[in-house]
Structure 1
Amino acid sequence: MSKQWADSTDGSFKRQVSSFQEVISPSHPIYKPAKNRYWLYVSLACPWAHRTLITRALKGLTAVIGVSVVHWHLDSEGWRFLTADQATRERADKDASYYEPAGGITTATLDYSNPQAKVANNSARMFVDSTFDPNEQFERLSQLYLKTDPNYRARYTVPVLWDTQTQTIVSNESAQIIRTLNSGVFDEFADPGTEPIELVPKNLEREIDEINAWVYDNINNGVYKAGFAEKADIYEKEVANVFEHLDKAEKILKDRHEALVEKHGKNNITDILDDYFLAGNQLTEADVRLYPTIARFDPVYVQHFKCNLTTIRDGYPYISLWLRNLYWGNDAFRLTTDFNHIKLHYTRSHTRLNPLGITPLGPRPDILQL
């Protein structure tokens, strides 16, 4: 997510195809499963990177695959890390909780909406604005790409799944990364006490793939096609398409909810919410892939990408309930959702959309209570 504008001459937004798409497998000639060998480089603002953090947490891999978080401000040279002094590196090596708070999920804590905070785009608060790169001590994400391929000339995007042994990028395709993390190749190393979860069960795989396909093109990527459109007619077409497919998601969740009310009774709210998901009656990859966009919708996409026909909280009661259920009911979703990074990144990095760099304070709260 490091390109702001269209790659085409017709004013439409075209997303780059990921260049690195290897998998990790016992049968792979290079990338074999191991604990503490692989590392994720992410932005807490980026929805594509967010899905990998959620999957990593759900699968109990927070002590298996490390994470570095880039600064929320995307400048003309791309994503950057903060640099750490030797004492910080040594402390992080000795104390994992220092490097990765919240049980291995890196989050920021500053309430940027406080007028006294005066957050600058070059702010350098370690573990709040960014972390450092403990593997290569790089200052820029681009250096990982160029170390892997000195001839690389495309954009430097997150997420990146890095192999510390070969010092190469395994994959920069989020959909593939989450399938790899879910595949079971790391299960033997998972955090003790991790509740087994299969995000793509065989009996739901076709349904999950079908949902993923239209959600990706029309909602996940749809908000970008609307927000980065450079002609009014293209914007109007794309924003209408986003809401058409939000209507489709709302219908699926409405039908799910009505069926669960009939099954459990309308007063058994806990039982209803325990089964309230997009595909089947269990948490799946379809939920993981839709959630990052919906979580960002009211705080960012409504105003910043002009997706303002309505909000999720006001116009989509069943999507809103689904969102709140995931956020408040599951730490893997709540603790990986950092609204400070999300709001600051979009409003400070996309200077053509928001030239004054003013970050709106609302909505409040970011996610309604359940």
Structure 2
Amino acid sequence: MSTEDGASEPTFVEEGREFKRDTNYIPTRITEDGRDGYPVEPGRYRLIVARACPWANRAIIVRRLLGLEDVLSMGICGPVHDKRSWTFDLDPGGVDPVLKIPRLQDAYFARDPEYPRGITVPAMVEIATGKVVTNDYPQITLDFSTQWKKYHREGAPDLYPEPLRNEIDEVAEYVFRDVNNGVYRCGFAGSQQAYDEAYDTLFARLDWLTERLARQRFLVGDTITEADVRLFTTLARFDPVYHGHFKCNRSKLSEMPVLWDYARDLFQTPGFGDTIDFTQIKAHYYIVHSEINPSGIVPKGPELTHWLEPHGREQLGGRPFGDGTPPHPPIRSEVVPAEHWATR
């Protein structure tokens, strides 16, 4: 069974069954002490992402907030992959300019010629060998915060503060199970019962999040943490994709006032909204998921300028970056065209 991130089989929906995500990722870690044979080193690795993918979007945001651009380069795949792999079709000649490969699959097979699972993003690739080191996306962003600390920019926020880690982990688990993955359990459900159960669980969790965020500006503590990053990437895709395409249609995000204000607060925070490419997001879901959308037609809406309207969350207090500062603007090669995130 494949996932939305691309695998060797094109099937997303299994008739009569609920959607089960394969969470067996490559567990190798890049750490300060190099315990797995891969020490943190500037220029040694390349982060491969796709702007369409919510899991990869997390890594893009955290890398930017922490200011790791100078020590960790980033390759960006196009939004529409085939049954084999994500591809570098956005680059000249369709080849990643650093790894010199046309498909992310090549880096996975460089590590294991018989690699049996999905070719997923984000992936950390060792440049010299061309081998994927890890695609364990939940751990990648935590390691950016804890293992790459020596290379954080001055003023980088603490996204995983030690006193709050247990609470961050607990909230992040709820968010993953019921929201991040919950929307896929709705969209890829193979039976009415599986869909109904996933739908009810999703909106029960969104109601729980609404109650929590009605009292506080951010999910844990009074600053942005890893938990907020993980929720944001799903909320950003909710109205353009999940509401209609995945049948998560009790309410649009824009009809849930607390979550809508919260999402706009983050969207308007440097490092969040300016990493979002709604054009690529919609192209990915509506074209790749041909079982759900056989016509391949990509909807024109929704209107995007509403993301820039005032949100009023400042009245709840909180300091987005704590004692730190906002990140600098994105480097030129990583700028998302304004028409892809701020206008129709």
- TM interval, shorter chain, is 0.7 to 0.9
What TM-score comes out, normalization by structure 2 length?
A: 0.83
1:188 matched to 2:150? The reply is yes
Q: Distance in 2 between matches of 1:218 and 1:5?
A: 22
- Which residue in 2 is equivalent to 1:91? none
In the alignment, the residues of structure 2 paired with residue 338 and residue 356 of structure 1 have an alpha-carbon distance, to the nearest angstrom, of 22
Distance across 2 between alignment mates of 1:239 and 1:7: 16
CA distance in 2, matches of 1:160, 1:73: 17
How far off is 1:366 after superposition? 6.3
What is the distance in 2 between the residues matched to 1:352 and 1:364? 26
- Aligned partner of 2:215 among 227, 247, 255: 255
Aligned-partner SS, 2:167:
helix
What runs of 5+ residues in structure 1 fail to find an aligned partner? 86-125, 257-275
- The answer for unaligned runs of 5 or more in structure 2 is 311-344
Residue-by-residue CA offset, 1:59-105 (whole Å, 9 max, x unaligned): 101121111111111222221112856xxxxxxxxxxxxxxxxxxxx
Determine if the alignment matches structure 1 residue 61 to structure 2 residue 68.
yes
Matched with 1:284 is 225
- Residue 185 (structure 2) pairs with residue 212 (structure 1): no
Determine if the alignment matches structure 1 residue 356 to structure 2 residue 289: no
SS at match of 1:345: helix
**One-letter identity of the residue aligned with 2:280:** H
Distance 1:197 1:84, change over 3 A: closer
1:222 alignment partner, one of 182, 193, 202? 182
CA deviation profile, 1:210-250 (whole Å, cap 9, x unmatched): 10111101000000010001211211111111111000110
Secondary structure in 2 matching 1:69 = strand
Pick aligned residue for 1:43 from 42, 50, 56: 50
User: What SS does structure 2 have at the residue aligned with 1:286?
Assistant: helix
Q: Give the number of aligned pairs.
A: 302
Distance 2:11 2:197 in 1: 17
Change (3 A) 1:9 1:298: closer
Question: Where does 1:1-370 land on structure 2 (aligned, <5 Å)?
Answer: 1-2=5-6, 5-6=11-12, 10-29=16-35, 30-82=37-89, 132-183=95-146, 185-191=147-153, 194-256=154-216, 276-314=217-255, 316-328=256-268, 330-365=269-304, 367-368=306-307, 369-370=309-310
Residue by residue, what CA displacement relative to the aligned partner does 1:185-211 show, whole Å, maximum 9, x if unpaired?
Answer: 3333344xx423111112211111110
When residues 366 and 43 of structure 1 are mapped into structure 2, their CA distance, relative to the original with a 3 A threshold, is farther
Answer yes or no: is the 8 Å Cα contact 1:38–1:163 preserved in 2. Answer: yes
* Offset, 1:334: 1.4
- TM-score for the superposition, normalised by structure 1: 0.77
Q: What's the CA shift for 1:10?
A: 4.0
Structure 2 Cα separation of the partners of residues 253 and 283 of structure 1: 13
Output the amino acid matched with 2:83. S
Q: Alpha-carbon deviation of 1:5?
A: 4.1
Note if contact 1:142-1:156 (Cα within 8 Å) is conserved in structure 2: yes
Aligned to 2:322: none
Distance 1:189 1:203, change over 3 A: closer
1:6–1:14 CA contact under 8 A, matched in 2: no
Q: Matched residue of 1:321: which SS?
A: helix
